[in-house]
Amino acid sequence: MIIYGTAILAACYLSGIFLGDLLGSAIGAKANVGGVGIAMILLIFAKMYLEKYKMMPKATEGGINFWGALYIPVVVAMAAQQNVVVALRGGWIAVISAAVAFALCCCVIATLSRMGNRGIPLPPLALDVPADAAVR
Amino acid sequence: MFEMFSKALAQNGLVTAFVVVGIITWISAILSRRLTLGRVQGSAIAILIGLGLAYYGGIMTGKEKGIADISLFSGIGLMGGAMFRDFTIVATAFEVQATEARRAGLIGALALLIGTVVPFVVGAVVAWSFGYRDAVAMTTIGAGAVTYIVGPVTGAAIGASSDLMALSIATGVIKAIMVMVVTPYIARFLGLNNPRSAMIFGGLAGTVSGVSAALAATDRRLVPYGALVATFHTGLGCLMGPSILYLAVKALFS
């Protein structure tokens, strides 16, 4: 049943958000600390557990994968409701702080990515996939 | 006739949003293929169109939530709001390889720490060079350079004025937009082609929205890894901003 998958996902989401709120108030951060990350970890464990006991049929997976595939459209909707006007009105101080902070962070990212045991690159996306399929 | 049609759209906001985003995605896919021969990913173009619509909505209504403030498109607000965003991000974790995620755990934590301190210092220094010499102003603008949520949370905690808060929000939003727009073009420089570097990116580049949109436009398979780390970014910033970082600025400048 597709709803089982969606229900598992929703349960992980709610538990994660709740634990994130608890963690936030425990350390006095006045914000949700890692709620989404905790939810993701819960879902990864739920998947490992259910697959081990063969309790994850294709339909149940479908109830989770559908929402994962909706992710990019949701991001487009998110972009469409940013306060772009205020961001542009912030003036040079905002633009310069943001640009310099991002540029410095990029240098650190490039350094750290090349340090230690480097990750294994993902295989290239299949080229014969039509462009609209890649967008989803 | 037209009135009835627009009423139907406005009363079913979320469903209307699905159609609108579907059309944006379709147009972006065509633009990506015809105009850039597939070099710029369709999702990157779709996000740019979204930001453009947000600007138009902001100009038209003078309010804060972009195109979602126009009643016909209010469903965009629900579809792109925090609930749907976080719910779908969690769903992407279903494709995460647990072994990959564990291998990068420590470096992700290091990235988070640097990703909080470096933007804060930059923001505070820029604020100083623009003439903001008191600790509260420097801290608030510095916190805004971490993320647009850390800025106002920190500012409220240390008693900053509302124009300072607006400035710090603007700084954070501009950073998030830069992350979304620039990342796909510098992905090679960042080494952004594997789960480990995606987690480093998530720790350093900040907000969940910026990171996840940037990774979606670079290679959507990297989204869950980056988001997994980025979700701790705002929490850590809200923790450090009003406490250790504020005290450090205060000790140095007053």
A77-99 pLDDT, tens digit per residue, is 887 887 777 767 767 888 888 88
Cα–Cα dist B165/B167, whole Å: 5
Cα–Cα dist B163/B66, whole Å: 20
C-alpha to C-alpha distances, A48 to A41, B87, B171, nearest whole angstrom: 11, 20, 41
Could you list the beta-strand ranges (E) of chain B. none
> Rounded to an integer, what is the distance from CA B7 to the centroid of its chain?
32
A8 pLDDT exceeds 70? yes
Cα–Cα dist B227/B86, whole Å: 10
């905790």: which residue's tokens? A38
B253 touches chain A (CB under 8 A): no
The closest CB to that of A132, out of B29, B180, B220, belongs to: B29
For the segment A48-53, the average pLDDT, to the nearest whole number, is: 89
Nearest-neighbour CA in chain B from A121: distance (Å): 4
Q: What sign results for the dihedral spanned by CA atoms B234, B238, B239, B244?
A: positive
Q: Which pLDDT score, from 0 to 100, does residue B39 have?
A: 63
CB B144 within 8 A of CB A91: no
Domain residue spans of chain B: 2-80, 98-253
Backbone angles phi, psi at A115, to 5 degrees: -95, 155
Residues in chain B with pLDDT values less than 50: none
Cα–Cα dist B87/A10, whole Å: 7
| Residues 6+ positions from A62 with CB-CB distance below 8 Å | A2, A5
Mean residue pLDDT across chain A: 81
Residue B244 per-residue DSSP state: I
Which residues of chain B have a CB within 8 Å of the CB of A76?
21, 24-25, 43, 46-47, 49-50, 80
C-alpha to C-alpha distances, B83 to A43, A113, B5, B10, B105, nearest whole angstrom: 17, 31, 28, 21, 26
- Burial group, residue A14, by CB count within 10 angstroms (0-12, 13-18, 19+): middle
pTM, two decimals, is 0.74
- B74-86 pLDDT, tens digit per residue, is 999 999 888 898 8
For the segment A63-82, the average pLDDT, to the nearest whole number, is: 86
Share of chain B above pLDDT 90, in %: 19
Q: Which pLDDT score, from 0 to 100, does residue B229 have?
A: 85
> Rounded to an integer, what is the distance from CA B47 to the centroid of its chain?
12
- Please calculate the CA angle B136-B140-B142 and round it to the nearest 5 degrees: 115
Cα–Cα dist B110/B115, whole Å: 8
Window 77-116 of A, Cβ < 8 Å to B: 77-102, 104-106, 108-110, 112-114, 116
- Helices in A53-91 by DSSP H: which ranges? 58-69, 71-79, 84-89
